[in-house]
Structure 1
Amino acid sequence: MADGLPSTSVWGRPAASDAAKPAASLADIMSEELVTEIQKVEIADDERERLEILKMLREAGVPEYELDTSNDFQIAVELSVDPDISADEAMARQLQRELDREHELNAKFEASKSTGGVAKAVVGHDSYKYLREEEEERQADSSEDEEDFRELATNMLYQYKKPEFPPCGFRKDPSGNGNIITKHDKEITAAKNCERAMHFPTGVQTGDFVGHNISNRVFNSLRTHVKAESKRQQRLKDKDEQATNEATVDGQTRLILFKWINLTEFDEVDEVIATGKESAVLHARKNVDAEDEAHYAIKVYKMTLDAFKNRAEYVKDDFRFKNPRRVMKVWAEKEFLNLKRIHRAGLRCPIPLHLKKHVLLMTMIGHKEAAIRLKNVVWVDEEQRQKAYAQSKEIICRMYSECNLIHGDFSEFNLLYHDGDVYVIDVAQAMDLSHSRALMFLVRDIENILEFFHRIGTDDLPSSTALFNEVTGLDMDENDNLSVQVEAFETENRGIDRRKDKNCPANVELRAYNEERRNRSKSPAKDFN
């Protein structure tokens, strides 16, 4: 029913509730006397409630000094002195830590009860480091402030105060002796040189110049030296970059290496072992830091003839590589095949594993580091030298007799020394005996290795002619020049069958295959073929 309208009963009489309501106007409601009366009533109610609470506390035995609340406001003011509320934050962190530990214990109880039927939990270390993190943050902030202060102090110590001069460019000496000082004064220039020396490049170790003066002559000498040293370092850097570029690790090479890594041939490529006129050798590892860690050598051949001018001389008459336009593409293949021949004969050499275009993967001679060359060996006694010479001679003889190969560059640079044994490497230029100049290259190999062992003081070495006769089975006169005799022999007596074989290289391979079959033992699969 709408407000302000008289309410009537169903019989048309006024409702009893309307008669009980007092009549109140708007002026009565807004009067101050009414407000005051209402406040008095509320205060009386609060006081009565307070007295009832005090009566209940006294009956409960609470001491009288705890019932005094007159100083509560002052205590609250004192507790709010901390403006950043750090105490409240620490208390909140402590409460949160207790709550988390309680939750963790309840979870452990429930887990143990569900699994074993018995509720148990082991209380370990506190995994909630709220207070420790707060302390670490404070220490970090304090350390940053210390660093900033230290940096500011250092800048103030080394800061150069530029002298001020009037527009005329000179001023009187402050000491009062009547002299005129300009910006070209000796002491001012020396102090300025000191400040300029402190700004030399980082690599220049100038030391601490604070409190010192540097004359123009000394500073000019230092500056000239720094410029010359910078240019020299730049040249060395360019040379290193050029050497790295010559290592031919280009995009195509990297793609081949990535494919081998994906095929788990090796896991990583570490460093460059050596660089030469024809190739660069990289170090690769597999199963790094494991007991069965393996090491490999990756030989990357250069695809130009710039550094190896006479490369074609080694392959132009080799029946395996008759097309001179394919020399660049088959140079890696040539060493791969030569290594296979040498390894098949049982000679000490790297084992060839894979060949892809101009990249050859083979085993590395050495343990974790590559073996040293024969020229870098520190010889201890005569027995060691004699053993190294005997192994070198064995390599030459067996390469000639069993592999039908002549090294072509047999020297202390292409022989490795590891665990007391000599290994032959770098056989890319090794040529077949059908080569028209094969014996001349053999003479050069013999002279090179004999010269090296003479130089390190090896006793009882044969002559070049005697060693040549032992290798080839020929009978050259030791009183005559060996090179002249070999040249005449190649021209007159040798190479008749070889020249025929060059026209039909397949006959050579067939003859070698039949010879190998005759010398091979009975195959266990012969009865099933």
Structure 2
Amino acid sequence: MEPVAAPNPAAGPQPWRNQCPWVSVPSTVTPCSLSDVMSEELAKELQQQEESAAFPHAISLDTTALIGEGADTDSDLLLAQMLQMEFDREYDAQLRREENKFNGDSKVSISFENYRMVHPYEDSESSDDEVDWQDTRHDPYGPDKPSPNAKRGFVGKGKEITTKHDEVTCGRRNTARMENFAPEFQVGDGIGMDLKLSNRVFNELKQYSYSEQRRSARIHEKKEHSTSDQAIDSKTRLLLYKMVNAGVLESINGCISTGKESVIFHANGGSMDDKMVPAECALKVFKTTLNEFKNRDKYIKDDYRFKDRFSHLNPRKIIRMWAEKEMHNLIRMQEAGICCPEVVVLKKHILVMSFIGQDHVPAPKLKDAILSSEDMKRAYYQVLDMMQQLYTECKLVHADLSAYNMLWHMGKVWLIDVSQSVEPTHPHGLKFLFRDCKNVSQFFQKSGVSDAMGERELFNAVSGLNIKADNEVDFLVEIEALEKINEDHVRQMGKRVQMAYECDGPKEN
């Protein structure tokens, strides 16, 4: 085989050179003159291109732009300033390089921006990602719908800057935001009047709106779950509808009396299978507001009939116990022959009784009745007999007896409102009796009844006790001593009953 001759570089174009990977191709160099290489402008341009390629975020400073084109550079101060600016620029470029080297490709990066010597001026407003503390979607003066007269940012040399903190713009925005208040808080047409509210006024109105909303919720809750004067709640209304649908009542006519604890309605009676319903009935609806019962637990918590149940009930069920207590007291009085309303039926906190009056007109109270001297004297002896019967036969003390709780009807005195009545063995039973006697004695003495006894004499006549005292203070001391004896006796009797029950055990039916 003959040897291959070495190629001659000067022998024209050789296409095989591009196909051989082991052959080095000399790079083409653009010719440049010596004057171009020595040019400062070319060197400065090449340096700027190199720095911009390496650090795209770096900002170069043009000293001629900062100092002024055509300025006199013979001054040492001016030259020092130019050198200092150049040094600061190089220092900032070095910080950029250190920052990029330190961060690398990490997702979490640090910045040396605060250590830069020359900070670029950025003419920008607040960030678009900033979220205001209010919802401005429906704000006619918000960032989405600026006012036609509003000016933002720099609008020219010597002009003002308008931002979101501008007084007029902020005031209009606050007026528009009042539409987000509660519906029951009336704010008027503030946008139509171009009303401007300051931040202080808007914040006060906002807090007031919240307080009014909470207050309105409490009021509505109270109206829906409690009875008030001449008004009933939804549960009470449902109970009344059931009575009418069941035929116990034919119709309910309206309110005839209101008190601290209850509301009295007049109704036409219907019919029941096991009991005769009067033609005219009185509905006593106990209020469920609890305000009038919070200080009256002393009448029921020490009553042995309800003592065991009192501590296990919530406040609203205690009100039902008041209605139940009045029903039992009225039944006792009716069995003893005392003039009082007749119980028809009890539904939770609604007590249906016979109506004391005629033709929808209630009987007058003894306080308001116009009686002659003979009728007043007759009424006094009737009250005296009823108090004795109530104490001896019914074993009850009215505990709130006065001319306001006695009615005058058909020439007789009728006792009403006995929900607070207690037995004489109650820890304060004798004290309640003395208070009743004092009220009755003072009323009839002022009414001109000469035979009316004093409160101490009336107390002894009703109770059968013979307490002797020269004044009211000593009389009350004797009463408290008797109540202490009765309380100890009742406590001992209760222990004996409990011991007997534990020894014998419960009896099987």
TM-score in terms of structure 1 length: 0.47
TM-score in terms of structure 2 length: 0.48
Structure with more helix by fraction: 1
